[in-house]
Amino acid sequence: MTYMTCTHCAATGFLNLHQVDEETLCRFEETDDHQIILDWMAANSAHDVGVCDCCGDGENWHGTPGNHHPEDGEPFPECY
């Protein structure tokens, strides 16, 4: 199955990741565990980090966060 990289979030599933501390960001990049960033967001109130609206809402993802395919289901993101 061929996926299209989400251009809205640079294939991460999140927006504004530059605001996340380096240690947390490294753990996320090493494991690709999106819960790491969701937990960071819950623990830190002063930030603009958010779930990419093309990729899902953090609980329900549209296929693989950061990668989309029309067979992933509706709504198919319009981030291209």
The band of 68, judged by pLDDT with boundaries at 50, 70 and 90, is confident
Q: What residue type is 20 in one-letter code?
A: V
Query: Taking the model in full, what pTM does it have?
Result: 0.85
Name residue 68's beta-bridge partners: 4
Instruction: Choose between 31 and 8: higher pLDDT.
Output: 31
List Cβ neighbours of 66 (8 Å cut-off, separation of 6 or more).
5, 6, 9, 10, 11, 12, 13, 52, 55
Cα separations (Å) of 8 from 18, 42, 56, 65, 68? 14, 22, 12, 11, 12
Q: Taking 90 as the threshold, does the pLDDT of residue 33 lie above it?
A: yes
Instruction: Choose between 20 and 6: higher pLDDT.
Output: 20
